[in-house]
Structure 1
Amino acid sequence: MVKLSVIVPFYNVQAYAPDTLASLRANAREDFEFLLVDDCSTDGTPEILERAERELPGAVLIRHERNGGLATARNTGLDAASGAYITFLDGDDWLAPGHYERLLAAAEELGVDFVRTDHVQCTARERKVFRVPVGRRNEVLRPRDAILPADRSTSVDYPMAWAGIYRRELLDRGLLHFTDGLRTAEDRPWIWRLHRGAESFAAVGLLGIFYRRGVASSLTQIGDVRQLDFIRAFDQVLEETANDPESGRLLPKAVRTYCAVISHHLGSIERFEPSVARKLRSMSADALHRMPQDILKDALDGMDGERSSRLRRLRRRATGTPAVSGAAGAA
């Protein structure tokens, strides 16, 4: 019986894949499987993965015939997973030896639906620890309660799928798949759905995941139109949260987070191609108009002056697109 399925998408990461695969070898166990999803790479990555399938214990190579993006590649891995627990790793990141065994032990001991863990961000030679924004560690908690408060960083603001481990029952209940085709912010609707739908979770302080930041091929470093998928991702968060029985309690957090992300992108708009920058302004203005306006007003009133002013100026550009159905009334 497979105890843990690790889903690892790869796309044009030939410079980093050997480190990732070596760290998986240092985490191998006879009841672990590593689902290596090649998302139609065009460099030397496929050959590296072919060798890994032969040499890495538990490795299973899955190939896409066309590039689908990270969300689609993760879904391919989920569809093939057979483990009692599931986790993720990106093809340019790496792990400390034995990390998965320790993470699995924590999940089994706590007996929760999922566990979230800290990680180390690596930018060139710099190392920086990022913590799950949950104060109580190694305790069984209610995921919905960790969404709030609206005006502070919470668990849904730490959306990285690879920073945790998840019971298979969550997959069977439809809580682990990603929105197919999202090219960026794919973790945002996912983490919100997970916290609304799961019954229990815990945060632990294991530091065994090393996230490689600043990779030139990473979409977060590319200012093309795919970056604008964050609009579609957060529209989904708002729509699904508006349909939640506790929408009045949860929507202020969703709106405030959406506003913060829009402001972040506008604040670094120079990194986008000119046509994409224009589209970013237009789509963001429309997004502000779609939000429940009473909740939006409260969110803007509670933000710092710079971000609030930026969004208020943008709001005046908004067209007549209707607000999220039923959201304002629910609030």
Structure 2
Amino acid sequence: MTEADLSIIIPAKNGASYLPTMFGSLLRQGDIWERSQVIFVNDGSTDDTPRVLDEFAEKFPRFDVITNPEAGGLANARNQGLEAAIGEHVAFLDGDDWLAPDHLPTLLEAAHRLDVDFIRCDHTTVEGAKRSFKRAPMAVRNRALDPRVGILPAHDSTMVDYPYAWAGLFHRRLLEQGILDFPADFMTAEDRSWIWRLHLRAASFAVVDSPGILYRRGLVGSLTQILDERQLDFIRAFSQVFHLIRDEAEPERWWPKAIRNWLAILDHQITRFGSSPASLRMKLRRGAGIVSSQIPSELLIREFSQQKPSRQLNVCSYLGASSSYITEMVK
């Protein structure tokens, strides 16, 4: 028997202006806090974060703070939170986001009723005054499922295309099995191999309707808005995905989806890095070639041939050992 029903892990750096909204939303989650733990990871903040934490600490029965003198990144901060978690279930929340009332009780009720390894839910993006509802790509709801049904079909958006760590709830047994932690030292794309590992190695999951998470996008200073070498972590992330697939008993089932993911994201990143310094573009090309060479060449060529012409032209010279043959295909 664990000491708490829920541990919620909240990493943040310099988020003081957003934290009152986030903590206020936690206080509107009903009567769960007597059996729940808040873990806040202050990841190198230099703003008023400590003052805000002092203000809200007394409002929660179990409020633990981990302070990093320097920022170690979201993946490492979440892993620190996991090490400190005492709950039967674990949730993640970013410091600049917030929850609709009764969101956590809804997820906990579903977790107790369905007894699955993890639960996923929808969310709403917030960009200034604009809000957009984003549905988790799974039609079957409120039912225990094999997580592998969330991977295919290869040509559709599926649950591995919905990697957001904060969009769900996770049973402690995943942590004990070594499935729930994030890849160390990743500054971006930390959830890409994480979501594949969950869907390949966990025993059960469910998607449920819930009041929702409000996810801020487009914030000044966010890593998603900064183009530098940290954004190249997506290359290492896919290398990890490909290693996971090679270790599977039937890798041929999962390669098409993973390759399509890789080609789509590589296409996006090549365009995104188009105006970056030549040294950064060279690192992207070199890294993409190395990782593409991990894919069985016949499968890479087959999936490449099914891509739209604009994508083929954009990525063809980034595909490692297969690049020469593929370049001839698109001439």
Q: TM-score, normalised by structure 1?
A: 0.91
* 1:154 correspondence with 2:158: yes
- Structure 1: gaps (5+ residues): 322-331
Partner of 2:272: 268
1:217-241 CA deviation, whole Å, 9 max, x = no partner?
2111110110001111110110121
Does the 8 Å contact 1:224/1:273 carry over to 2?
A: no
Partner of 1:286: 290
Q: 2:97 aligns with which of 74, 93, 96?
A: 93
Q: 2:181 aligns with which of 168, 177, 180?
A: 177
Q: Which amino acid aligns with 2:27?
A: R
1:268-311 CA deviation, whole Å, 9 max, x = no partner?
22464553233223322333233221111121112222112211
Partner Cα distance (2:252, 2:152) in 1: 12
Does the 8 Å contact 1:6/1:88 carry over to 2?
A: yes
Partner Cα distance (2:130, 2:277) in 1: 29
Partner of 2:130: 126
Q: TM-score, normalised by structure 2?
A: 0.91
Range 204-213 or range 179-188, more displaced: 204-213
Does the 8 Å contact 1:53/1:61 carry over to 2?
A: no
Q: 1:18 aligns with which of 20, 34, 38?
A: 20
1:127-164 CA deviation, whole Å, 9 max, x = no partner?
00111111111121110122111111111110001001
Q: 1:187 aligns with which of 165, 174, 191?
A: 191
* 1:196 correspondence with 2:180: no
Pick closer, same or farther for the CA change 1:286–1:74 going to 2, 3 Å.
Answer: same
Partner Cα distance (2:217, 2:312) in 1: 28
Q: CA deviation at 1:94?
A: 0.4
* SS of equivalent to 2:293: helix
Partner of 1:168: 172
Partner Cα distance (2:265, 2:130) in 1: 25
Partner Cα distance (2:49, 2:165) in 1: 23
Q: 1:138 aligns with which of 113, 129, 142?
A: 142
- Percent identity for Structure 1 against Structure 2: 43
Partner Cα distance (1:141, 1:308) in 2: 36
Partner Cα distance (2:130, 2:209) in 1: 20
* SS of equivalent to 2:8: strand
Pick closer, same or farther for the CA change 1:118–1:272 going to 2, 3 Å.
Answer: farther
Pick closer, same or farther for the CA change 1:320–1:127 going to 2, 3 Å.
Answer: closer
Q: CA deviation at 1:61?
A: 1.1
Q: 1:111 aligns with which of 111, 115, 124?
A: 115
Q: CA deviation at 1:319?
A: 6.2
Q: Which amino acid aligns with 2:137?
A: P
Partner of 2:10: 8
Partner Cα distance (1:112, 1:162) in 2: 17
Q: CA deviation at 1:110?
A: 1.7
1:198-252 CA deviation, whole Å, 9 max, x = no partner?
1111111224200000111211111011000111111011012111112121122
* SS of equivalent to 2:33: coil
Indicate the RMSD between aligned Cα atoms, in angstroms: 1.8
Q: 2:224 aligns with which of 213, 220, 225?
A: 220
Partner Cα distance (2:294, 2:203) in 1: 30
Partner of 1:324: none
Q: 1:206 aligns with which of 201, 210, 222?
A: 210
Q: 1:47 aligns with which of 42, 48, 51?
A: 51
Aligned pairs (5 A) from 1:249-264: 249-264=253-268
Q: Which amino acid aligns with 2:19?
A: A
Range 103-112 or range 54-63, more displaced: 54-63
Aligned length: 319
Does the 8 Å contact 1:12/1:217 carry over to 2?
A: no
* SS of equivalent to 1:3: strand
Q: 1:61 aligns with which of 60, 65, 69?
A: 65
Q: Which amino acid aligns with 1:16?
A: Y
